[in-house]
Chain A
Amino acid sequence: EDKVVQSPLSLVVHEGDTVTLNCSYEVTNFRSLLWYKQEKKAPTFLFMLTSSGIEKKSGRLSSILDKKELFSILNITATQTGDSAIYLCAVEAASNTGKLIFGQGTTLQVKP
């Protein structure tokens, strides 16, 4: 059965800290891995990763995929209180539908 596991489930840090969120997966015929940020509104897209070893960056956020070891990490440097959210990792397996299989999410709280 296809599965996505995120760790840690929750994390509390102080502003300025760097955090690393983990996502491991077991899927048949992997196609892509996506990261979303979910606040009390629509989950917003962060990154889509399809190739191993190529880091994607957007400001203080970056992510990388390891298709051999079947995991991805999401790094946030110099955290701010506005980074407080649930971070969701999702995997698309090769199928006709493109449906996403989500992990449980990591709840990040950044304290001032």
Chain B
Amino acid sequence: GAGVSQSPRYKVAKRGQDVALRCDPISGHVSLFWYQQALGQGPEFLTYFQNEAQLDKSGLPSDRFFAERPEGSVSTLKIQRTQQEDSAVYLCASSFQGPKNIQYFGAGTRLSVL
């Protein structure tokens, strides 16, 4: 596709619900990143994939957060038993290869946990 596509754009969840956020990277991009952006803050790294391999998940805040990219293209970020502190914009970015390559971002999914 022309750019990184994320869905849904907005998600409202009740506390305790599970949510799944989808990212379609730019076609041919090997690397995929997830970031979390709280209100008024810069994005913070969550996890990184190179093709289907999850090479870095050091930024995932708890074991309720899980990401996958089974075929090396589309990725899903899943949050189990959502909490109010999970409310944020979740941004996905892709790049041709990881280091020293420009990351292109999607518009994000705004998650609100009530």
Contacts and interface: CB of A to CB of B under 8 A. Distances in A.
Interface stretch (B42-50, B68-76, B77-85): B42-50
B24 to A, nearest CB: 13
A96 B97 CA distance: 11
Residue from the set A48, A94, A95, A100 with the largest chain B CB neighbour count within 10 Å: A100
Contacts of A96: 55-56, 98-99
B45 A100 contact: yes
Contacts of B87: none
B25 interface: no
Contact of A104 (B42, B48, B56, B95): B42
B105 interface: yes
B43 A88 contact: yes
Interface residues of A, number: 28
B99 A97 contact: yes
A98 B106 CA distance: 17
Interface of A: 4, 6, 31-32, 34, 36, 41-45, 48, 50, 88, 90, 92, 94-105
Interface of B: 3-4, 31, 33, 35, 40-45, 48, 55-56, 59, 91, 95, 97-108
User: Ordered nearest first, which 3 A-B pairs have the shortest CB separation?
Assistant: A102-B42, A98-B98, A98-B99
